[in-house]
Amino acid sequence: METRPPWDEYFMRIAFEVATRATCLRRHVGAVIVRDKRILSTGYNGSPPGQKHCTEVGCLLEDGRCIRTLHAEQNALMQAALHGVSTHGATLYCTCRPCHVCARMIVAAGIVRVVFAGESPEGWAKEVLTAAGVGIVPLLDLEPPSPMMKLQNVPQGTDAETSFEEQNP
């Protein structure tokens, strides 16, 4: 009797662990890029190297979205590029569905399959992935191990939220 988890569940659980490193106040997201059952790269949402994190100085919001942080998928792709690791033909595991910007980066990086926890991508993100022939695999049965891995609303007017104009007079 097989007691080990299937590969998709195994790598998604690793992505959940990677998400614990996230510095976003709204949601912790993790991503793992895998080819031939080997991890190529990981990433979590947070500020670029050398920049202050939202956990240190609050969210930098523009039009209601934090512009301080990179998405987990973006960080995983950039880490692979930085270290000369090809992502062509790989699978990307992410603890949430990709946005339209990440979807375009996933296609450009040669990723052939995206596995994520939660609902399927919508709108433009789904269209971009589908048009490129990228497999879309939702793992609906996996619950995030932490409430911070679900989107949180940062209450307006709190120390955790500042506008771009407030931080850059």
Distance of CA 120 to the CA centre of its chain: 14
Chain segment 72-131, per-residue pLDDT in tens: 999 999 999 999 999 999 999 999 989 999 999 999 999 999 999 977 667 889 999 999
Say whether 9 is catalytic.
Answer: no
Q: Which domains does the chain have, with CATH numbers?
A: 18-148 (3.40.140.10)
Give the HSE-up count for residue 82: Cα atoms under 13 Å, Cβ half-sphere.
Answer: 11
Asked if residue 139 lies in contact with residue 12, where contact means CB atoms within 8 angstroms, the answer is yes
pLDDT exceeds cutoff 50 at 155: no
pTM of the model: 0.84
Task: Categorize the per-residue pLDDT at 151 as very low, low, confident or very high, splitting at 50, 70 and 90.
Answer: low
Identify the H or E element spanning 39: strand 38-44
DSSP state of 26: S
Q: Which class for 98: exposed (0-12), middle (13-18), buried (19 or more C-beta within 10 A)?
A: buried
Catalytic residue among 73, 127, 161, 165: 73
CB-based contact 26:153 (threshold 8 Å) = yes
